[in-house]
A and B are shown apart, each in its own frame.
Chain A
Amino acid sequence: MSQLIWNGLFVGSFYALVALGYSMVYGIIKLLNFAHGDIYMLGAFAGFAMLTVAGGLATSAGFVALLVVLVLAMLVTGTAGLILERVAYRPLRGAPRLSVLITAVGASFALEYGMRLVAGPNPEVYPVRLSGTTVHVLGARITLEQLALVGIAIALMAGLQYLVMGTSTGRAMRAISMDPKASLFMGINVNRVISRTFFIGSALAGAAGVMAGAYYGKIDFLMGFIIGLKAFTAAVIGGIGNIKGAMLGGLTLGMLESFGTAWLGGEWRDVFAFAFLILFLTVRPTGILGERVTERV
């Protein structure tokens, strides 16, 4: 039982990290960024490339090397997010919603198969694996590395919370999500704030990618597809556009999956999660923490 809860929390913190970027972008410009899961994949591959280049140095330094790589990979994916926004989404601001969605699908496709061109179709094995000492807490087997990863995730989320609630950029973001036009009149550089949002969201997804690579040990160019869907599910469960909601939703989804797997078997895990998404949208489309969204005419 406590093992199930721990597994759920652990996987849930990954989901939460990816869901945050989804939710932030959606909250600000009402865009479903389908390519977000692929940014996560990009993060995993960026980390992989750096660790491979560092070679023996990285494997001996272990966890510290991983932290450095994590930060660098966040910079890479953040920049990728910036470029993506500039090239694919900004020209379409104000275009019909359908065109923007289709562009997002195209971006996701281009990232996936672009990576396939670069890295080849076969899965790669991560050079640094995290598997170490286990401690037993309340009957659950927990490795220290798992604890560290959850710690990093919590630290990142706390940092984000400060950024959004405590800085001027964060205030600008919240203003834009309420009313982009009025924010423009109030002297906020809307384009720059949106770029920053993409940078932050993509950096968080990249961090999750490196962590997932180091933990699961195997990465491939399609790994972002399912996690993108899961992260969206998490964002919807928590209330899309709401940062605390995304964290809560990620953890909830992780728990649900963990228990669902225990009841139904691992092969039904994804079916369970997506069926839950559909059910949730029927019963409470605004999510746990979300407010009722009224579409303006």
Chain B
Amino acid sequence: MASKLSSLMENRYLGWIGLAIALLAPFVSATNYSLSVMTSALLFVMLAVGLNIVVGYCGLLDLGYAAFFAIGAYTSGVLATRYDWSLLATIPVVILAAVIAGVVIGGPTLRLRSDYLAIVTLGFGEIIRITANNLEITGGPSGIFGIPGISIGGLDLSSPVAFYYTCVVAVALAVLGAARLGRSRLGRAWRFVREDEDAAEAMGIHTYKVKLAAYIAGAIWGGLAGILFGAQLTAISPQSFTFLWSALILMAVVLGGMGSTPGVVIGAIFVSVLPELLRGAADYRYFIFGVLLIVVMIFRPQGVWPTHAVERSARKRRTDDDSTVEVNQ
């Protein structure tokens, strides 16, 4: 049983299976409610995969991830409602804004001890939320409404089904991108920094640059998810970006297995869909989440779907097929 499970975990077609499930899901149930739950789950997957770059690959604890999500949603929302940009056109601006925010926060704090980053990001999350609450251009406490849906050319993609499939494509690309990034040269440097920062530095890795790269990559993923979030809900307000969000995304990453892409995807789906299934136990769920975080860290810090499996498959492939040897520097 265990070997069957681990061979399933290492299956190289896993990504395709996941994509197929996502594509076929509306054929099982396509009510507006189920579509909206599934779309939210997809956005959550995107956020969790983005946070996984920071927390899972690089080992930096970011407790204000919702801030980047908010920056993306507000940047695209303001441009779309006040200046009549189409949402697609706002993508470069959102990326730019996310990068700037990442540099402003990561720049000073990543030079310090890693646990300072955690609390500074927590403060940053609050700064962004309160700023959005106070400024006039962001609509104050009531936020922005009337954000248009996504349309490509003349094709309107704002109906629930079309938007769901748009999200499937976008999120699949995001997951694939994050996974590829994790296996790149930079990704190996991230993991090295996570395991032993001093040793990494001694081996010639510019740890500060590498950490900043992880932080910025996470910011971009978060910002792009923000665009989709605005398009889905058509209205955003500061209440959508509280610490609760950041904590839930972290929860998804930790539960699924830090650094493991399939694990994080499963974790995100679990964390976002479970509350819908447990409507009755709404009062208990955050309490349970908190206890679960402690329990997971004490008894299974690698999460339910650890990254170990993925690394072993890479080694196996190397011995099986010598023509595609990956050279590890």
B103 within 8 A of A: no
Decide yes or no: A102 and B109 within 8 Å by CB, A109-B289, A267-B130, A281-B116 being known contacts: no
Give chain A residues whose Cβ lies under 8 Å from the Cβ of B283: 116-117
B109 touches A278 (CB 8 A): yes
CB of A103 within 8 Å of the partner chain? yes
Residues of B within 8 A of A103 (CB): 293-294, 297-298
What is the interface of chain B mostly: helix, strand, loop, or mixed? helix
A200 to B253, CA, bound (A): 34
Interface string of A274-295 (1 = CB under 8 A from B): 1101100110010000000101
Cα–Cα, bound, A4→B10 (Å):
63
- Whether B192 sits at the interface, judged by CB under 8 Å, is no
Verify A271–B127 contact, CB threshold 8 A: yes
B254 touches A102 (CB 8 A): yes
| Cβ < 8 Å to B, chain A residues 91-140 | 91-92, 95-103, 105-114, 116-117
- Taking CB atoms, residues of chain B closer than 8 Å to A282 are 108
Give the residues in chain A near B258, CB-CB below 8 Å.
Answer: 98
Q: Do the beta carbons of B293 and A281 come within 8 Å of each other?
A: no
The interface stretch among A164-172, A177-185, A224-232 is: A224-232
Answer whether residue A145 sits at the interface, using C-beta atoms and an 8 A cutoff. Answer: no
Closest Cβ of chain A to B128, distance in Å, is 9
Tell me if A97 and B131 are in contact (CB < 8 A). no
Flag if A270 contacts B61 (CB, 8 Å).
no
Closest Cβ of chain B to A252, distance in Å, is 17
Residues from chain A with a CB closer than 8 A to the CB of B130 are: 267-268, 270-271
Given A229-B123, A277-B120, A281-B120, A117 contacting B284 (CB threshold 8 A): yes
With contacts A98-B55, A105-B247 taken as known, whether A113 is within 8 angstroms of B297 at the C-beta atoms is: no
B131 and A271 form a contact (CB under 8 A): yes
Docked-complex contact A107 and B290, CB < 8 angstroms? yes
Across-interface contacts of B119 in A (CB, < 8 A): 32, 34, 229, 232
The distance from the CB of B271 to the nearest CB of chain A, in whole angstroms, is: 13
- Smallest Cβ distance from A132 to chain B, in angstroms? 33
| Contact (A106, B118) CB under 8 Å given A225-B243, A277-B123 | no
Chain B residues near A87 (CB, 8 Å)?
294
Enumerate chain A residues within 8 angstroms of B113, measured Cβ to Cβ: 293, 295
Give the distance in Å from the alpha carbon of A296 to the alpha carbon of B16 in the complex: 45
Let me know if A1 is at the binding interface, CB within 8 A.
Answer: no
Question: Residues 83-94 of chain A: 1 if any B CB is under 8 Å from the residue's CB, otherwise 0?
Answer: 000011001100
Q: With the chains together, A110 CA to B301 CA distance in Å?
A: 18
- Asked if B115 CB lies within 8 Å of chain A CBs, one says yes
Alpha-carbon separation in the docked complex, A275 to B108 (Å): 12
In B246-271, which residues have CB < 8 Å from any A CB? 247, 250, 254, 258
> How long is the Cα–Cα vector from A97 to B119 in the complex, in angstroms?
14
Residues on A with C-beta less than 8 A from B112 are 281, 285
Compute how far the CA of A282 lies from the CA of B254 in the bound complex, rounded to whole angstroms.
29
| Residues in A neighbouring B124, C-beta threshold 8 A | 274, 278
Interface residues in B111-140 by Cβ distance below 8 A to A read: 112-116, 118-120, 122-124, 126-127, 130-131, 133-134
Contact across chains for B109 and A110 when beta carbons are under 8 A apart: no
Q: A297 near B: Cβ within 8 Å?
A: yes
Minimal Cβ-Cβ distance residue in B for A31: B115
Give the complex CA separation of A88 and B295 in angstroms. Answer: 8
On whether the beta carbons of A106 and B297 are closer than 8 Å, the reply is: yes
B250 touches A105 (CB 8 A): yes
- List chain B residues, Cβ under 8 A from A236: 116
Q: Taking CB as reference atom, which chain B residue is nearest A240?
A: B116
Do A101 and B115 touch across chains, with their CB atoms under 8 A apart? yes
Q: Are B287 and A97 in contact (CB under 8 A)?
A: no
> Does any Cβ of A come within 8 Å of B105's Cβ?
yes
Q: Is B198 an interface residue (CB 8 A)?
A: yes
Q: Which residues 197-249 in B have Cβ within 8 Å of A in the complex? A: 198, 243, 247
B254 touching A275 by the CB < 8 A rule?
A: no
Contact A114 B287 (CB under 8 A): yes
> Which of A88, A106, A232, A293 meets B292, CB within 8 Å?
A106
Q: Does A197 contact B (CB under 8 A)?
A: no
Is there a chain A Cβ closer than 8 Å to B70's Cβ? no
Q: Is the CB of A106 within 8 A of B134?
A: no
Q: Mark B141-171, 1 if CB is under 8 A from A, else 0.
A: 0000000000000000000000000000000
Closest to B194 in A: A98
* Alpha-carbon distance between A103 and B299 when the two chains are bound, in angstroms: 11
In angstroms, how far is the closest chain B Cβ from the Cβ of A88? 5
Set B116, B287, B297: member contacting A102, Cβ < 8 A: B297
Question: Known contacts A98-B114, A102-B61; can you find 15 more A-B pairs with CB under 8 A?
Answer: A88-B294, A96-B301, A98-B61, A103-B297, A109-B293, A110-B287, A110-B294, A226-B126, A268-B134, A275-B127, A277-B120, A278-B109, A281-B109, A281-B120, A282-B108
CB<8 Å pairs between A and B, sample of 22? A92-B298, A95-B301, A97-B114, A100-B297, A101-B61, A102-B250, A102-B254, A102-B297, A103-B297, A103-B298, A105-B293, A106-B293, A106-B294, A112-B286, A113-B287, A233-B123, A267-B133, A270-B130, A271-B126, A274-B127, A277-B123, A297-B198
Shortest Cβ-Cβ A-B pairs, 4 listed: A106-B293, A109-B290, A110-B290, A274-B123
B residues within 8 Å of A by Cβ?
55, 59, 61, 63, 105, 108-109, 112-116, 118-120, 122-124, 126-127, 130-131, 133-134, 198, 243, 247, 250, 254, 258, 283-284, 286-287, 289-294, 297-298, 301
